[in-house]
Chains A and B, each alone.
Chain A
Amino acid sequence: DMKVTQMPRYLIKRMGENVLLECGQDMSHETMYWYRQDPGLGLQLIYISYDVDSNSEGDIPKGYRVSRKKREHFSLILDSAKTNQTSVYFCASSLSINTGQLYFGEGSKLTVL
């Protein structure tokens, strides 16, 4: 079954706390992404991972870091969360860097109080 799974789906944190969002895919896709979605702004790319331990900043990486130790797993970490990081975060994967079509998870809604 081709699936991208995100955990947790909903998360409430206080400003300054650390946040870990996890993403897994069962398709052995090389490339994985983290986006955030805000009303009226579409999706903004935070980080991209080309494969294990091969990560690159996207358009809005400030305040985030990522980890990819296994091909099927990609984590987004917020060290000391800020209220402006309240958003819906989507993980996605694609077969390779040059292959179209992204496969998305169902999203993780993060609220930072």
Chain B
Amino acid sequence: AQSVTQPDARVTVSEGASLQLRCKYSYSGTPYLFWYVQYPRQGLQLLLKYYSGDPVVQGVNGFEAEFIKSNSSFHLRKASVHWSDSAVYFCAVSEGNYKYVFGAGTRLKVIA
């Protein structure tokens, strides 16, 4: 069965610092991979997705993620965070059908 692990429940970084949020998945094939962001009192919004091709994918607001098959990872990165990036970030995996498996989420706090 598929699973997604986000090992860091909470991450605090200073504004302007770089960011990496970790995601590891368990799936025997090549999955479809997603990062979603949830701002307070809102639904999840897609940041970026990976289906195939270039393992580094660009998303909105300067976010990117790298698919490393050998490590079963899809970490999210940003070069310089802004206070408005404070939110909960979810990694998700799909087999390409209806079924999506979500990680438990990482709550990001950006401090001045």
Contacts and interface: CB of A to CB of B under 8 A. Distances in A.
A94 B99 CA distance: 12
Interface in B20-72: 32, 34, 36, 41-46, 49, 51
Nearest to A109: B41
Q: For chain B, which range describes its interface: under 10, 10 to 19, 20 to 34, or 35 or more residues?
A: 20 to 34
Nearest to A41: B104
Most buried by A among B4, B51, B97, B104: B104
A98 B96 contact: yes
A40 B34 contact: no
Interface residues of A, number: 22
Interface in A1-50: 4, 31, 33, 40-43, 45, 48, 50
B31 to A, nearest CB: 11
Contacts of B43: 4, 90, 92, 104-107
A92 B9 CA distance: 24
A100 B44 contact: no
Given A40-B104, A100-B32, 16 more contacts: A42-B102, A42-B103, A42-B104, A43-B44, A43-B102, A45-B99, A45-B100, A50-B98, A94-B98, A97-B97, A98-B96, A100-B34, A100-B94, A101-B34, A101-B49, A107-B42
Interface of A: 4, 31, 33, 40-43, 45, 48, 50, 90, 92, 94, 97-98, 100-102, 104-107
